[in-house]
């Protein structure tokens, strides 16, 4: 099963000009717990997917909201020359095919 099959929402957005957040939300406690307990979503995976050092990845679990928030630094400041995603709204697609065990 892929993350896109179990998550209700997978999205990304800017959290300021130098940070992007990736939000993953679930419909049920069961789905949320399955992903959390699998430990598939971790700093090493996000670092690999987004080509950055693992120590720059911050993963925050919100069990009451059945959500994960992942904060990563932007490689290019929002709006600077070369920025192809000013709002950070196209960065979440890399998470779709993460396999959940």
Task: Look at residue 64 and tell me if it is in a domain.
Answer: yes
Residue 24 burial class via C-beta count within 10 angstroms: exposed 0-12, middle 13-18, buried 19 and up: buried
Chain-centroid distance of CA 60 in Å reads 10
The pTM score is: 0.93
Task: Look at residue 58 and tell me if it is in a domain.
Answer: yes
Q: Minimal CA–CA distance to 71: which of 38, 96, 47?
A: 47
Tokens standing for residue 12 = 């990304």
Q: Which CATH number fits the domain that encloses residue 21?
A: 3.30.70
Question: In angstroms, how far is the first alpha carbon of the chain from the final one?
Answer: 7
Q: What percent of the chain has pLDDT over 90?
A: 94
Q: Supply the DSSP symbol for 99.
A: B
Per residue in 5-44, pLDDT (tens digit) is 999 999 999 999 999 999 999 999 999 999 999 999 999 9
Task: Look at residue 56 and tell me if it is in a domain.
Answer: yes
Per residue in 66-89, pLDDT (tens digit) is 999 999 999 899 999 998 899 999
Task: Look at residue 31 and tell me if it is in a domain.
Answer: yes
Domain range for 10:
3-75
Helix, strand, or coil here: 77? coil
Task: Look at residue 99 and tell me if it is in a domain.
Answer: no
What does pLDDT average to over the chain?
A: 96
Task: Look at residue 94 and tell me if it is in a domain.
Answer: no
Number of domains in the chain: 1
Task: Look at residue 16 and tell me if it is in a domain.
Answer: yes
């Amino acid at each position: 099963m892929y993350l896109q099959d179990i998550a209700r929402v997978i999205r990304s957005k800017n959290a300021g000009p130098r940070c992007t957040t990736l939000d993953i939300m679930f419909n049920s406690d069961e789905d949320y717990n399955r992903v959390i307990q699998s430990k598939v979503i971790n700093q090493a995976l996000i670092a690999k997917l987004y080509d950055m050092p693992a120590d720059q990845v911050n993963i925050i679990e919100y069990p009451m909201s059945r959500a994960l928030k992942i904060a990563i630094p932007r490689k290019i400041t929002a709006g600077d020359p070369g920025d192809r995603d000013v709002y950070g709204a196209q960065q979440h697609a890399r998470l779709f095919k993460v396999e959940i065990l």
